[in-house]
Structure 1
């Protein structure tokens, strides 16, 4: 036994073993030191800037709250982030020279935890519990907001009412037909009306628009439509809704002087009012990659501020006695800032506008101080402002598209090759102009690449020729259309704006013609089925890595980006789509054509089915499916995938069916789909997607080849806006 014990220590005695044990912590510390040296060297060589990465960590915390579904997961993620922050401080000695590395690790963990806490608190503060069930209610309400939508023939009123039954205030949104509207129904007025109200709707299908989530953060307990007329009980105070009234007056003034589609576009540029733009023009602008021109964002705010800065500088320079006493750049920057803030407030202060306004203010400050105006830190500060005000905007397309475009522009123009390409040199005017046009095209290409995965994720379709259209459209809007609208408004003060309105109309007609021509080209639009969140995250991770690092280190960002491309190309199209109520389904054949249960052209459900199937072809009735057998109450059809034939039984009506016959039919089917509760005797071989099942799961996307399905409930968790029907 003694020999066996001695064999465990090959050298020395027990005291030597104790010495080795004492030395192990020092070896571990040395290993950590070498690891820290490697990280420090990488960060130093790659141009690491903590500011933008702290905002990325803040956004990651906010986004993780939406992805994680349970409160214990949120608390665990916050605790883990704080633990990482503490560990980064404790990993190295306080006498270690890598204080910056410790600080960066600690700050990133705190930023992540702060982001998750921020959105959690925001949800608890503004979220409104929806009404329990659809109801017809008599309302005595105060108007909080008024949104005119002439293109839809309606006005949307946001109302504050008192729920007498539950003793709580309610915020509602009611659609009022234009024929029953009155100009006195504005912010601050008290009205009585009767409305048919519904709880905010969850996604119709996996990947569809989540109105319930949007309504939760807007505080809507219900939405609905007017029944009867609206009675004005108390008019609005004179000063109530002043900015909104100015916005509507300006929009009406523009449309009064400029008719047709060009007038609706001009109203959007002048006041941010997009309610008059027709759906056809919206679609054409979107498919041409020009829809960003309709949303008041960086382009418009920058144009207004640049114009104000230029005019202020030139006007001040006309007075020599004044120029000797003030700093022209500083005063011009202050005037331009006021113009930008006024334009932001006038156009509704939406997320892209606020981001652009904050960024423009930072650019003006940099110009006034003689600093570099175009930097990632500027973008980071703008993102922080928006995320602290509206953290929920992170998961919306507006925030993602706005910041993706700006980050792409800043990263491109700060890269060394582009700086060298645009550096001043002795050359002819034609060469100078040609380099600028080429740079404009390259910028458009970068923006299109940056926006493509975001647009496909949210809208399932994207224009492919946007870079070409933007080469003409952006200068047209920036240097011709918007200045002409501004000049026309100024000359309207003396009644001489008509010629300028005509010229503005011609330029906007040209813009719409560019959009329609581009959108009509073969292959102009790319459609995909619902892509997964993991695919989008791969693209975003790669894009952020490329944008925020410098030198060769940024090339590593192409790895996740290329993985995202592979995931996008391999995105499967669902074989069967079932809406949350089971009334509408879509079956996709091997040629990509969609077969629907009902002939309901233009319905919201049908449009969603076609969109999420990734096809532009008009749907075909299910009864025309090869091998389908349809009666007045049911359709039975065979679907072959991977050499296996699935038998699907779909209910068409709610008529009473003999239970024994139904049970026999269910026994022969692999999948049964119905918009009602089916008896327990109905037992298909794989899935029974009846009313009972759909109330808990929401809409379904069924993939027969993989024998799996995606459900709306999978992406909801226990957030306040999601409640299965059985819980209502």
Structure 2
């Protein structure tokens, strides 16, 4: 039997085991007490975590598991922590995380609708729900509600050439037309934009191209009733093409007329946020309205002495915000900005501090409850990240003290204002860069400097001049003001073009892992929302995520989901495309996926590639060995025996057709059946590794939707098609060896 002296160490250890959790619990409670004002800011974060989990997790079992785990956290907070602040945090956070997952799941099922099963050329009738002119592309986009019994989804979207648009077509009109429709496309390559997800929540079951003639069966709204379209056309008629398109975008949010080179310059220079109606535009409209109303009401001494004029000005600003939101199409980004503006005005009316992180949290909570799918969109992430960074920066004690008004000369005041703009711009660029790199694989490096001039120019010069010119147009006196507005817009475009063309203006990054992005976002939120020194712990996951993203190797081979297009990274690091006639969209898609910036040459011009009309063979050195990649690029018949011999001599073969079973490459076979299962593919030869679109898609409803299909062509028409001559056979000696 052990003596008391022998038992003492174990008793001391037991006491330490008991005391350590108690001490740690008291430390957490003291920390949460110090952060009590910031705890409510985490409610939309917990809700968003549940929404994000539904998009990231693969299937129903995982979603249910998340909700059960979140419920377990909530139960643990209720039972284990009792009435402590930590217990309440766990309880509310767990319930919010479970609610977020359930909410977006319910939303996805609520908007469910059939999707077109296969590409088809069909003649159908429908009612025009929306008209979006795209003058820069000489197209008009129509959203149509189809009629039952046509074998089509309830809502489709088609593009019409401007020359094919019937005169007098308005919303609500019933039209008949012929169009080539296809199911909404998913991500073409890993990390690319998933339009199928966006179309699912928008209720769009098919997209395509319409053909003339388009007949108006029944008229719609009275011509000219679309105020937004008429206003955009009027603004564009007063200014040169590029300046008029940007001015229309600032006023109505209509970006369809902006030339693609100028739109690309705005993106590369970090000024693209000026083109979409957001918080900047809503703020300018509300501030201008309040200033005008206050000035007019103050002209009456009786009103100034007996009424709270700021309250009436705030009411006028709220009506202006709602009206402007309606005018610009009430898109989700504009609605977010409008909600935030209304909350600011309500705070002003109640005599509370207007711009706080709590206001941002309430706005995010409202948006996530109404449109939970907005969380995974770049627009939501960019706008709320920017606003949160700005507010958190200016709520910091030292920053607020440095930029507080002081008794000083105008020169020092001007320098202080410029320093404020520069610091704010740098903070915003730092926060937005990982989001831009994740979604677009590119980020402007000089955006902070460009915005120092562009934001004041837009807010205090361009938009007031544009509003004044529109007012004076009622009396036919707006021409001189339009000229001044055009000169200011030309300066804005010059800033964008100069910044975009500067050396090293754009940072390009290939596909960022979702885990790395999650670490960066989680660490950034931790830094921005907490107030005490513990906030800087968020730098650890953010740094790990950034290092992970930068260390992720760029793919050596990118193949689209149809197998028709691919890009190969040659030994000099340059990406080359298979087909010289690949369109700009495909080239941009492949360049973004490979982390390249600039034009992609054709593989025919590469010294380590040999190509003919039917096949292309590239030799690459990676990881101390030579890789041979073979791709087909014609639909002509190739002798099966010769093809099998070629397949055995290569490591990877890519084809848009179904290859015979005898075609067995050494490592990877990417033909039509395999790509149909996997979607687009990215391949790295230093490893090697393969990433497929299907790996990220999971079993979400837009991946395996209910489908609908129109009737097929009559049998006699198909027999005519089968009787047409088949393409000529290709001599096997033309194969690339």
Shorter-normalised TM-score: what interval? over 0.9
Residue 163 (structure 1) shift: 4.3
Distance 2:186 2:107 in 1: 20
Residue 169 (structure 1) shift: 5.5
Query: What residue number does 1:70 align with?
Result: 59
More divergent stretch after superposition (101-110 vs 436-445): 101-110
Query: What residue number does 1:3 align with?
Result: none
Query: What residue number does 2:227 align with?
Result: 246
Residue 474 (structure 1) shift: 0.6
2:442 to 451, 455, 461: 461
1:387 to 361, 368, 374: 368
What is the DSSP-based 3-state SS (H/G/I as helix, E as strand, rest coil) of the residue aligned with 2:243? helix
Residue 48 (structure 1) shift: 5.1
Query: What residue number does 2:733 align with?
Result: none
* C-alpha distance 133-75 of structure 1, shift in aligned 2 (>3 A): same
Gaps of 5+ in 2: 710-737
* C-alpha distance 631-263 of structure 1, shift in aligned 2 (>3 A): closer
* Residue 229 of structure 1 pairs with residue 213 of structure 2: yes
Query: What residue number does 2:714 align with?
Result: none
- What are the residue-to-residue correspondences of 1:286-685 with 2, within 5 Å? 286-685=267-666
CA contact (8 A) 1:695 1:726 kept: no
Query: What residue number does 1:687 align with?
Result: 668
- What are the residue-to-residue correspondences of 1:105-124 with 2, within 5 Å? 105-124=90-109
Query: What residue number does 1:164 align with?
Result: 149
What is the DSSP-based 3-state SS (H/G/I as helix, E as strand, rest coil) of the residue aligned with 1:426? coil
2:133 to 124, 135, 148: 148
Aligned residues between the structures = 703
Query: What residue number does 1:60 align with?
Result: 49
Residue 537 (structure 1) shift: 1.5
CA contact (8 A) 1:586 1:595 kept: yes
Query: What residue number does 1:195 align with?
Result: 179
Query: What residue number does 2:39 align with?
Result: 50
- What are the residue-to-residue correspondences of 1:237-276 with 2, within 5 Å? 237-238=221-222, 245-276=226-257
What is the DSSP-based 3-state SS (H/G/I as helix, E as strand, rest coil) of the residue aligned with 1:639? strand
Residue 29 (structure 1) shift: 8.4
1:79 to 43, 64, 68: 68
Residue 621 (structure 1) shift: 2.7
Residue 218 (structure 1) shift: 0.7
Query: What residue number does 1:704 align with?
Result: 685
More divergent stretch after superposition (441-450 vs 637-646): 637-646
CA contact (8 A) 1:703 1:709 kept: yes
* C-alpha distance 497-632 of structure 1, shift in aligned 2 (>3 A): closer
* C-alpha distance 617-511 of structure 1, shift in aligned 2 (>3 A): closer
CA contact (8 A) 1:593 1:617 kept: no
Distance 1:241 1:84 in 2: 57
Distance 2:636 2:165 in 1: 41
* C-alpha distance 165-356 of structure 1, shift in aligned 2 (>3 A): closer
- What are the residue-to-residue correspondences of 1:100-139 with 2, within 5 Å? 100-139=85-124
- Please report the RMSD computed on the Cα atoms of aligned residues, expressed in angstroms: 2.4
* C-alpha distance 308-725 of structure 1, shift in aligned 2 (>3 A): closer
* Residue-by-residue CA offset, 1:629-675 (whole Å, 9 max, x unaligned): 33443223321101111122222223222222222222222111111
Query: What residue number does 1:4 align with?
Result: none
Distance 2:216 2:385 in 1: 45
Residue 215 (structure 1) shift: 0.8
* C-alpha distance 604-423 of structure 1, shift in aligned 2 (>3 A): closer
What is the DSSP-based 3-state SS (H/G/I as helix, E as strand, rest coil) of the residue aligned with 1:40? helix
Distance 1:505 1:207 in 2: 39
CA contact (8 A) 2:389 2:427 kept: yes
* C-alpha distance 621-726 of structure 1, shift in aligned 2 (>3 A): farther
Residue 45 (structure 1) shift: 3.2
Distance 2:240 2:598 in 1: 34
* Residue-by-residue CA offset, 1:367-392 (whole Å, 9 max, x unaligned): 22221111111001111121122111
TM-score between the two structures when normalised by the length of structure 2:
0.91
Residue 81 (structure 1) shift: 0.6
CA contact (8 A) 1:623 1:630 kept: yes
What is the DSSP-based 3-state SS (H/G/I as helix, E as strand, rest coil) of the residue aligned with 1:88? helix
2:200 to 172, 193, 216: 216
* C-alpha distance 30-536 of structure 1, shift in aligned 2 (>3 A): same
Query: What residue number does 2:727 align with?
Result: none
* Residue-by-residue CA offset, 1:408-451 (whole Å, 9 max, x unaligned): 10011000111110223221111112101110111111111111
Gaps of 5+ in 1: 1-6
* Residue-by-residue CA offset, 1:557-600 (whole Å, 9 max, x unaligned): 22122222212321311011111111111110232211221111
CA contact (8 A) 1:651 1:673 kept: yes
Residue 625 (structure 1) shift: 3.5
Residue 27 (structure 1) shift: 10
Residue 173 (structure 1) shift: 0.3
